[in-house]
Structure 1
């Protein structure tokens, strides 16, 4: 076995040497350095090029840009409250000076881009006064009666926090919903 590997590596070594010698006879050092520089610069710029990051891997040319500040955004199908991304935070993070509630409610929302259902965790952000100019959404799709606490969105979810003042709500995708 060792002898066979030695012969294989010997053949590969001779082929690489012959290719390198032939390239050295036909390509100048400056030309090689210039081409190498172009390749390295192009490779470094690749992450800056736009590409489709959606789950399907195919561009959804017919889909219009989603507006995460609109109550019609797919993640907000069970949201009842002020949007944090219009109150100083983002769709998934509380604004500075507030903290996420220690308890939350869950909704199942369909993403129109891929047609799949996702579990979305809604956390209230607590500790600051509500901003009147922020967007208020009241989307109760699939809401259950109040006796099912984890499925009901009309509760002060800041009750488990030290500071119980409600500010806004974030919507975090937890994962795919089981069918």
Structure 2
């Protein structure tokens, strides 16, 4: 699939077919996350792959009862060795750890689309419960959950603001005339 098609076709999927995801595709998604950029190349991300039905139900509950999570064939909890980043960047460490994991997650979502899979980024959950129920170490934090599987829905493309409204040249507020004409 062309990269521009991957960008255009990615959606947040909350309805999945009851079809197992091939392990090779899961590994491809994980590998894409591993290749993300990170502050100081610290690569602080860690992954917990969840496929057990009962564990996915538990995860859905921890994610404030988002029941669709339990129906995804695969869930990936993106964790961070945050201590590794804070020891290097001190008071900016937590922010950088989160940003690194966000870049990792975006790579994973795009690769999921490339593999013909649907995915959903979830960041609403009880961090303490995930830490406890999924065995995270004291210096490790969970930042993102990804639900993964074959889509059983095709949501329409969301509206996006015009590039003109978002982009400035040299100084905030200095709009770039005709930038949207290039698209």
What range describes the TM-score normalised by the shorter chain of this pair?
under 0.3
Kindly indicate which of the two structures has a greater share of residues assigned to strand: 1
Kindly indicate which of the two structures has a greater share of residues assigned to helix: 2
Structure of higher RCO (CA pairs closer than 8 Å, 6+ residues apart): 2
